[in-house]
Homo-oligomer: A and B are copies of this chain.
Amino acid sequence: MQMPLTNQRKSLQPANPLGALTDLLQADLEAVNALIMQRMQSEVELIPELAGHLIAAGGKRIRPLLTLASAALFDYKGTRQHKLAACVEFIHTATLLHDDVVDDSNQRRGRSSANALFGNEPAVLVGDFLFSRAFQLMTEDGSLEVLRILSGASAVIAEGEVLQLAATNDVKTGEAHYKRVIAAKTAELFAAACEVGAVVAERSAEECAALRSYGMNLGMAFQIADDVLDYTAKRERLGKSLGDDFKEGKMTLPVIRAIARADADEKKFWNRCLGEMEQSDADFDRACAILARHGALEESLVEARRYAGQGIDALGAVEDSPLRRHLEDLVVFAVDRDY
């Protein structure tokens, strides 16, 4: 028997809070997507072609959703959040393009990466274009406070990327350094995305800070969980493969915890695989086994949950609403997802 179309559609909705947020903010999100498509245009055809390759591949659109949700949380009735959400997504897309060049990645969002398909040169330059476009959008919006938040976030992200580069292949990287990196390269944009939503809604400094804190903690939880998933993911993770971080010699929390407890043999193993980048096919499985033996993955998730709790606490400053509950669910989902 054929199901009615509306039910069919409903049954396809993802069962996670991102799906609920997307439903609730559907009209806003469509306005943002339209703006993204419109403002990534250029008479230089390669620009929309390359940017479109990455943007059309989708992605979770989690950062622009945060800006929309934050504005809606405070019952903001205007449309300024659309431009700023597009701007946040442009900054994110620019950093992805540059990241993939820096990491020499071949895959992104389940497709060939832009640098693999078009070459490193245009990937760098189109990233620059999107970055500039983001600042044009902010300038059109006209709020110096928003400009301060997002130009600051951009500088911090770049610092975080450089910091991460310095730690790659350094098996002596400590937990504090790791947290400094992910706070800068990931959590800062989550924080800024949330904060500007509160700023356009003209909320008090306390409420803007609460949303910023929510975003920061969500970002930390999200990135730690992502770093765990690199060793455990069961489902396809938007084009990222299992073991990418290991192959690139990235010093993430599970590895840092395991190295802290490594015996002499394990120390040699990590040093060879991540320090000297000499890896054989069986090494990733052995890495997973060592991480499991030391409980390093579970411990990392405990740490992610600690940030998730802080994120939920931060929302305590905001009046209860269905939207607030979706945002609370989102931090839990960020940690407990299996992709």
Q: Is the pair A135, B151 in contact by a Cβ cutoff of 8 Å?
A: yes
Closest Cβ of chain B to A11, distance in Å, is 43
Interface string of A156-185 (1 = CB under 8 A from B): 011101110110000000000000000000
Interface core residue of A42, A102, A151, A157 (most chain B CB under 10 Å) = A151
Interface string of A120-133 (1 = CB under 8 A from B): 11101111110111
Q: Is the pair B158, A147 in contact by a Cβ cutoff of 8 Å?
A: no
| 12 additional A-B residue pairs with CB within 8 Å, beyond A136-B151, A139-B144 | A44-B159, A44-B166, A98-B128, A102-B125, A126-B162, A128-B154, A128-B161, A129-B158, A131-B131, A132-B155, A139-B148, A139-B151
Q: Is the pair B44, A163 in contact by a Cβ cutoff of 8 Å?
A: yes
Q: Is the pair A133, B162 in contact by a Cβ cutoff of 8 Å?
A: no
A152 interface contact, C-beta 8 A: yes
Partner of A44, one of B44, B47, B138, B162: B162
Q: Is the pair A124, B98 in contact by a Cβ cutoff of 8 Å?
A: yes
A263 interface contact, C-beta 8 A: no
User: What is the interface residue range for chain A against chain B?
Assistant: 35 or more
> In the complex, what residue of chain B is closest to A150 when comparing beta carbons?
B135
Which B residues are in CB contact (< 8 Å) with A319?
Answer: none
Q: Is the pair A158, B126 in contact by a Cβ cutoff of 8 Å?
A: yes
Which B residues are in CB contact (< 8 Å) with A102?
Answer: 120-121, 124-125
Partner of A125, one of B135, B139, B162: B162
Q: Is the pair A155, B133 in contact by a Cβ cutoff of 8 Å?
A: yes
Q: Is the pair A166, B46 in contact by a Cβ cutoff of 8 Å?
A: yes
Which B residues are in CB contact (< 8 Å) with A295?
Answer: none
User: A147-B147, A151-B136 are contacts. A128–B125 as well, Cβ < 8 Å?
Assistant: no
User: A132-B151, A135-B135, A154-B128 are contacts. A165–B121 as well, Cβ < 8 Å?
Assistant: yes
Closest Cβ of chain B to A87, distance in Å, is 11
Which B residues are in CB contact (< 8 Å) with A94?
Answer: 128
Interface string of A61-100 (1 = CB under 8 A from B): 0000000000000000000000000000000001100100
